[in-house]
Structure 1
Amino acid sequence: MNEPTPPARAGIDALLPPDMALACEAAGSAKAGRDLLTLFVLGLLAGAFIALGAIFMTVVLTGAGDLPWGVARLLGGLVFSLGLILVIVGGAELFTGDSLMIVACAGRRITIAALLRAWLVVYLGNIAGAAGTAALVYLSGHYGLAGGALGKTALAIAAGKAALPTVELFFLAVLCNVLVCLAVWMSFGARSVTDKVLVIVPPIAAFVAAGFEHSIANLYFLPYALAIKAWAPPEFWSAIGQTAAAYPALTLGASVHNVAVATIGNLIGGSLMVGAVYWFVYLRRRPGR
């Protein structure tokens, strides 16, 4: 995610984990030093990129009901990984991945205030990018594809998320960002675009297939489905043989609750269970500390 030039390679293939930790720390310091507008725009891009992955996933899952459940989930996860690939390779700032900035804070390269400032601005940018993309996709009439089946899939995905109990949602979010941050962490050791893609896809496919909860992805899934439920024309509902009443759990309040709880869980999973652990293992005993 816009990493600076990494430290010297520990081998001909990739960085070893201790040097990955240094690269992660340097990246966190660089992110915190950016101006607010740059952070916001990079955050907006990341929100849009994750939304593109979510669109791809929705398309692939539409009509996949005849496949074994796990196979369909795997396919959805594989294509959703497009989102983080665009973030890492294209250059953007994703709140969930930026949980790893805790490494720079723990190493005293940035202050707590700078860390919180960066997280907040990136998060706001992610909201704008993901929700803005949801609005564009709704206005395009994309939900009407395949005789409305695509919109029905989008509604089903979002309704399932909106119905999650708080405790389950929290831990699903913790687990999600462990995998997301492991993907970002491993990308610090990559030496080429191909390497980065190869290390990103498995963890991202795993979290989607497992049904874990990603707050920024949900900022696309939930607004998009809410728009369909509220404003899709009668022709759409006739085509899918349902009415909006078939999705009682899908409400604005439930959607806000989902994103809020998932955000907290994502932050804890990424910063404490990945970033802080790797800082403790590789950086806490550096000379001069």
Structure 2
Amino acid sequence: MATGSEVIRFDPQNPISSINPSILATFAGLGIQGALDIGSHRFFLDARDFDTSRLVRIDTSKTAENVTETGLATGNPAFSGYQWDEKNQYVIAVRFGMGISGSQVVKIDPNTFQVTHVVQFSETGFGSTALDSDGHLFTSLAGQLLIVDTNTGEVQQTGIRTSWRPCHDEPSPIQSTFHWDKTTHTLLGMRAVFECLAERSAPVFPRFAGNELVRLNIANGQSVVIARIVEGGIGSSAFDPEGQRLYARIAGQLFVFDTATGQVIRTGISIGDWHTFQWEPGCPSSSCSVTP
């Protein structure tokens, strides 16, 4: 486990150099999840250090004395799926573990770090999350896509599958790596692709064949394939809705997807130890925590 991490600002339009990326902050532990408050320049990071975890806050407008220890332990119960609610000024997250039967969607006050319960589920195992501008949380649980109104706690069962048995069921419309596209009011995500081969040892044997980037229409449950790649190993990602660019760590390098045209750019930039991507408009840049 890493003993320290850096928060960096990287301009993907320019090559890596002595000033790109630039280091914004360092902190103890490994930052693997987080949420960015663009308006107030606050990056909330879940920092893991061996068997403990905590929430830290980074002031991204500074490069010194900008790390705040919030005092919120995020190890057990564990927190995940962090999203920043710009309209209501909360950090949204999912938590599960000690003292919780199942899992919960919660709000975290960005100033006091008080945790408020939104809704309870009997199941655990939340997948990807995304949040729209009205506070609707899109998440995968028990193999289907749910929409949680984080203002009222109301849960909508969409009936849209997020998992399937390869070579036995029809592929689900979407699977992981969710991002809400506010310009088209659709949900972006990835799904795995398999080839189905007949072998003597089994009627059908699924072989991994890559991933598809898809755009899901929530209203009708239909998805459109934007791009397909042969690589696996999808890691952190960030989406620029104005530029229609999805930046993702795949197989240890930076991929750039043009979500309007389907063009895929394999930059060749090695980012195997970059985590927790967040898109920061206006630079252009993406903020990532990096394990040195």
* TM-score, normalised relative to structure 2: 0.23
Q: Which has the higher strand share?
A: 2
Whose relative contact order is higher, 1 or 2, with alpha carbons under 8 Å and at least 6 apart?
1
Q: Which has the higher helix share?
A: 1
